Amino acid sequence: MRKPTLSLRWRLVLSSWSLALATAVVFTLLFHLRTERQLLQQLERTLRTRLDEVALVLGSGASYPTLEEFLLIETKNADTYFYDVRDVQGRVLARSSNLGGIGLPWPEDWRAGDAVAATSIRTVPHPISPGVDRIRLLSERSRLSPARGEPFAVVIQTGVSLAPFESTVRQTLREALVIAIGSLAGVFFLLWFVTDRALQPVAAMTRKASQITATNLRERLPHAGRGDELDELARVVNEMLDRLGGSLRQMEQFSSDAAHQLRTPLTRIRGELDLVLRSALSDTSRSELERVREDLVDMSRLCARLLLLARLDQQAGITDLFEERVDIGEVVSDVLEQVSPLALDHGIVLQRQAPSPVRVRGSRRLLVEALLNLLDNAIRCTPQGGRVAVSTRANGEVQLCVEDTGPGIPPEERARVFQRFYRLPRSAAGASDGGTGLGLAIVLGIAQAHGGRVELEDAPAGGALFRLVLPREPSPDEHLPSRAHEVLIPG
């Protein structure tokens, strides 16, 4: 079983939107990394500024209590910053009170007593709550030369909690994601709109192409006039339809010419054969000649049907050739009168349901031919003692129904019975039909020439139900109540 596939519209939209999604993901990730890096650099610059302020206080020669007071002022309203000042031996010179007596960790590669200038910046666990938060720690080992006193080496450390920084990064990421999602939604609807507008000519061409059949090959695909690829496709398809229409017209003309040319010699031979049969002949010769005459009759009938099909092919879809206002009730009455002898010979009961009169616009001769073929087919396929019913219905359309009590038509054969020269197998047809295989093809051709169709389904009684559906011609006496009754023509 073939798996369902996405339509071209969805494939175009989803492929373009997937590219937009990938682009949005990349740009959002790059924006997030850039924002994180900028915020971290800004944080480190702030740490550097604060560390320089501590070094400035130490280098001014102020006493240590003054430095502690300075640190107290620095951390009074900024509990997220931490300060730790020690000499190179690790002895505490000053420490911010928010550390609670806990020292900040030295870099792992620094050794006590080493006075070489060095700077280190890294992320370490929070000294107060190591399992919950982290801090960014700037450590600098330098030699200070105060204005009063001897130069000395000192280690200054400044740290800041990363919780506000990480909260800002998360908030920025959320805002970026909201903007990206909104933009992607807008891009999706924009792509859908643009793709739908771009595919409208394709949809118009598809609708038009689906309406073009063998009966209206004069129709052509529309041109947008833009000279793009779609116009080129329409031009190529229209040229193909021109060639195909030419080939079909040649075939139709050949069939029409062949049937027409054969009618004259067949009629002449049949006339001469009738003259011969009137003369004195032996029984054997007369029997042989009568069989030949029957074959000639069948050939004449076949030529007539081929000629009719050729003319239907040439005139299908040209409604101005069918301008009669035809009373379907009169057609049914005339046809039932014609086929009643055939029904009598086969022992078939003809049944008619006569509703109020309905009219269609078309060719009365062709509609009579269609109903004759339907009834002939039904009578030949219905066993002796069976019933063939004809009924008409009118609502938005006119339905002319022929129902029989024969063996019916198997579902697998229903699409093929309208093909030319196709006849049901003997087991499926019930009785031998002796037809040419053109009757139902003629019915279909007449229906299509009138802008209608033929439907085939199982009859309630088990046989076949053929429904000839035609466009309705409004009638001034439609308001009359229906007069449903049965007219039985005994077989």
The Cα 32–Cα 145 span in angstroms is: 43
Q: Which tokens in the block code for residue 404?
A: 């029989």
The Cα 333–Cα 328 span in angstroms is: 9
Q: What is the pLDDT along the chain (491 residues), one digit of tens a residue?
A: 455 677 888 888 999 999 999 999 999 999 999 999 999 999 999 999 989 888 888 877 655 556 666 676 666 655 578 999 999 888 988 888 888 888 899 998 888 888 888 999 999 998 888 888 899 999 999 888 776 777 888 999 999 999 999 999 999 999 999 999 999 999 999 999 998 888 888 888 888 887 777 666 677 888 777 777 888 888 888 888 888 777 766 666 666 666 666 667 777 777 777 777 777 777 788 788 878 877 777 677 667 766 666 666 665 544 445 577 888 888 888 888 888 888 888 888 888 876 667 888 888 888 888 888 889 888 888 888 888 999 888 887 888 889 988 888 888 787 788 777 777 765 455 544 556 677 788 888 888 888 888 888 888 877 888 989 988 776 555 443 333 333 333 33
Angle between helices 163-211 and 8-59 (to 10 degrees): 170
CB 381 within 8 A of CB 407: yes
The Cα 483–Cα 470 span in angstroms is: 21
Query: Measured between alpha carbons, how far is residue 470 from residues 361, 395, 459 in Å?
Result: 9, 11, 20
Helices (H), 347-438: 364-381, 426-429
Buried (b) or exposed (e) across 434-445, using 16+ Cβ within 10 A? ebbbbbbbbbbb
As separate numbers, helices (DSSP H) first and strands (DSSP E) second, the chain gives: 9, 13
